[in-house]
């Protein structure tokens, strides 16, 4: 902040401006602020100088300035940001000044300003205001008869501004459970549900879905979405072939984000989850693994759902099992991106990211997983899962990363452990420090070795003489660490005969 050279002159100038007769014009406000910039006035409010009437004069002066169009445009850009960031949590100068001088209306109005910088500053001001108990009460008054300016603006503004307000609501949900509860109880979000159902503007709908995706990223936001029957509406969007693919893709991503949370499965009807899975299944059935972004997103979404044990079981126990699409994409070479998406998704479903206690699924799901993989192998030229894994490991580095994850997830099953350990080429490859040259590749290869070794040591095969060399190679590879890709070389002296003339 700029230093206060003469607080007495500031007090006098502010007093004269505040008592000037008649309305204040934009030109007058600008002329005053050119001489006494806002940072200087703010420092006057924060100063400890004992100048009679200083605080009252500056506050009255600012009140008149911010009632002008010019002053209102500066409010979110400078004043509010400064006040709120430097105030005490509940009763700081900024929140108090806004409450006492009725400045909230000006802040809210600036959300609809045509100048993006002004609107952005107003947005940040509202978010900062909501961080305090008093500020939250200003934004979402609980007393009957009090005006909720934010909701009032949302009801009487353009679609663009409504999206901006919903974006603020999404951000507030992530601050705390108190702010989430205040937004939810305000009823502010009801109008956006209506707009999502009725809008014929694809861009507006896409923007709404983007914001729902943000809601799904936080526990409080996800809780709100689940209470509003969102899964049912999103499933309808995914299964509607007349809806643009961008909207279907975003709807799948929102559902996947929600269904990748353990808490969701105890909060929603299982039928709603099944409807989402069936909608994605139908979508993939129509796409037939075309090399498209929508197909890739659908496979990634199934992988996200499979991260959670309940989700993986539903993917495998549906009739027909939706997980078949993932396995087909992983093993049938439908295209590089599709194969990678399918392999990563299958790794997620197999439990590579789950804790040990939730890695294995129920008997029906495990049986289905095994049968699907063996069927895929029998229907290919590879004839066995071990040959499928080996074939994938011989592909490009990006694909191998997915295969390392897949093996690490599946190998805890005895049938897969046998397939991997009985294939000498696989063991030689994953234990070879020269197999990978990138840091990520080395780490994934090493993690795969650790997973195979842990499963082998916990299995009935650990004392099998046929696998003794396998165990030895794995343990050597693990002890060597992931980064033994270069062998140390010593300098070799070069001895030559001296040239003579």
The pLDDT, as a whole number, for residue 487 is 44
Cβ–Cβ < 8 Å for 446, 437? no
320 and 368 both lie in a single domain = yes
The pLDDT, as a whole number, for residue 87 is 47
Angle at 327 between CA 322 and CA 329, to 5 degrees: 105
296 and 355 both lie in a single domain = yes
Q: What CATH number should be reported for the domain holding residue 295?
A: 1.25.10
Domain that residue 249 falls in: 229-380
Q: What are phi and psi of 292, to 5 degrees?
A: -130, 160
Q: Is residue 447 part of a domain?
A: yes
Q: Is residue 330 part of a domain?
A: yes
The pLDDT, as a whole number, for residue 263 is 87
296 and 423 both lie in a single domain = no
247 and 371 both lie in a single domain = yes
> Quick one: CA dihedral 251, 252, 257, 263, positive or negative?
positive
> Quick one: CA dihedral 48, 50, 54, 59, positive or negative?
positive
318 and 443 both lie in a single domain = no
Q: Is residue 421 part of a domain?
A: yes
Q: SS3 of 317, please? A: helix
Q: Is residue 239 part of a domain?
A: yes
Cα 374 vs. chain centroid, distance in angstroms?
35
430 and 358 both lie in a single domain = no
Domain closes at, from 319, 346, 380: 380
DSSP string, 227-238: HTTHHHHHHHHH
355 and 237 both lie in a single domain = yes
Domain closes at, from 365, 380, 395: 380
422 and 294 both lie in a single domain = no
Q: Is residue 136 part of a domain?
A: no
309 and 376 both lie in a single domain = yes
Kindly state the tokens that stand for 389: 């894994």
Q: Is residue 15 part of a domain?
A: no
289 and 310 both lie in a single domain = yes
Per-residue pLDDT of the chain in tens (501 residues, 90 and over written 9): 344 468 888 889 999 999 988 888 999 999 998 888 887 888 787 776 778 888 888 889 988 988 888 887 776 566 565 555 554 444 455 676 677 667 788 888 888 887 777 788 788 888 888 888 888 888 998 887 788 888 889 888 888 888 888 889 888 988 888 898 898 888 888 876 776 766 667 887 888 888 888 888 888 888 888 877 888 889 999 999 888 899 999 999 999 999 999 988 988 889 999 999 999 999 999 887 677 899 999 999 999 999 999 999 999 999 999 999 999 999 987 788 999 999 999 999 999 999 988 889 999 999 999 999 999 999 988 889 999 999 999 999 999 999 999 999 999 999 999 999 999 999 999 999 999 999 999 999 999 999 999 999 999 888 888 899 999 999 999 999 998 644 444 455 555 566 554
Cβ–Cβ < 8 Å for 171, 218? no
Surface-to-core class of residue 292, CB atoms within 10 Å of its CB (0-12 exposed, 13-18 middle, 19+ buried): middle
260 and 365 both lie in a single domain = yes
Kindly state the tokens that stand for 226: 């689940």
Question: For residue 81, how many other CB atoms are within 10 A of its CB?
Answer: 17
Alpha-carbon distance of 182 to 174, in angstroms, equals 12
Alpha-carbon distance of 65 to 24, in angstroms, equals 7
Domain closes at, from 350, 380, 410: 380
Residue 410 has, within 13 A of its CA and on its CB side, a CA count of 28
Q: Is residue 291 part of a domain?
A: yes
Largest Cα separation within the chain, whole Å, is: 110
Q: Say what the pTM is.
A: 0.78
Q: Is residue 255 part of a domain?
A: yes
278 and 351 both lie in a single domain = yes
- Looking at the structure of the chain, the number of domains it has is 2
Q: 162, 164, 220: which is closest to 191 by C-alpha? A: 162
């Amino acid at each position: 902040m700029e230093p206060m050279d003469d607080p007495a002159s500031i007090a006098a100038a502010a007093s004269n401006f505040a008592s000037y007769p008649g309305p204040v014009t934009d030109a007058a406000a600008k002329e005053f602020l050119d001489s006494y910039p806002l940072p200087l006035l703010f420092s006057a409010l924060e100063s400890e100088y004992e100048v009679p009437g200083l605080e009252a004069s500056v506050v009255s002066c600012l009140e008149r300035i911010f009632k002008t169009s010019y002053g209102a445009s500066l409010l979110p850009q400078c004043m509010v940001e400064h006040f709120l960031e430097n105030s005490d949590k509940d009763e700081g100068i900024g929140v108090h000044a806004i409450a006492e001088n009725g400045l909230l209306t000006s802040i809210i109005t600036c959300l609809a300003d045509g100048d993006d910088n002004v609107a952005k500053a107003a947005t940040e001001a509202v978010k900062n205001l909501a961080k305090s108990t008093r500020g939250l009460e200003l934004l979402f008054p609980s007393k009957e008869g009090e005006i909720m300016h934010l909701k009032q603006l949302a009801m009487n503004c353009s679609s663009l501004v409504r999206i901006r307000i919903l974006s603020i609501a999404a951000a507030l949900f992530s601050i705390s459970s108190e702010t989430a509860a205040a937004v939810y109880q305000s009823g502010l979000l009801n109008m956006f549900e209506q707009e999502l159902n009725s809008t014929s503007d694809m861009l507006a709908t896409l923007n709404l879905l983007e914001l729902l995706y943000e809601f799904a990223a936080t526990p409080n936001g996800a809780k709100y979405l689940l209470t509003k029957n969102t899964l049912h509406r999103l499933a309808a969007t995914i299964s509607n072939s007349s809806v643009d693919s961008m909207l279907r893709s975003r709807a799948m991503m929102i559902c996947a984000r929600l269904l990748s949370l353990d808490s969701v499965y105890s909060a929603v009807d299982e039928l709603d989850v099944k409807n989402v899975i069936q909608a994605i299944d139908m979508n993939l059935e129509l796409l037939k693994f075309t090399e498209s972004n929508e197909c890739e997103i659908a496979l990634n979404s199934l992988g996200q759902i499979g991260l959670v044990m309940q989700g993986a079981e539903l993917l495998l126990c549906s009739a027909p099992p939706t997980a078949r699409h993932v396995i087909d994409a992983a093993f049938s070479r439908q295209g590089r991106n599709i194969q990678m998406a399918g392999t990563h998704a299958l790794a997620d479903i197999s439990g590579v990211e789950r804790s040990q206690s939730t890695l294995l699924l129920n008997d029906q799901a495990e049986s289905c997983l095994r049968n699907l993989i063996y069927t895929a192998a029998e229907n290919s030229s590879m004839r066995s899962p071990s040959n499928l894994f080996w074939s994938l490991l011989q592909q490009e580095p990006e694909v191998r990363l997915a295969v390392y994850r897949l093996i690490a997830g599946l190998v805890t099953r005895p049938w897969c452990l046998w397939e991997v350990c009985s294939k000498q080429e696989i063991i030689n490859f994953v234990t070879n420090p020269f197999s990978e040259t990138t840091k990520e590749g080395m780490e994934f290869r090493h993690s795969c070795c650790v997973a195979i070794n842990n499963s082998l040591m916990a299995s009935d095969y650990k004392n099998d003489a046929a696998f003794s060399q396998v165990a030895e190679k794995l343990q050597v590879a693990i002890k060597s660490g992931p980064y033994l890709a270069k062998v140390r070389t010593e300098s070799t002296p070069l001895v030559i005969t001296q040239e003579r003339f």
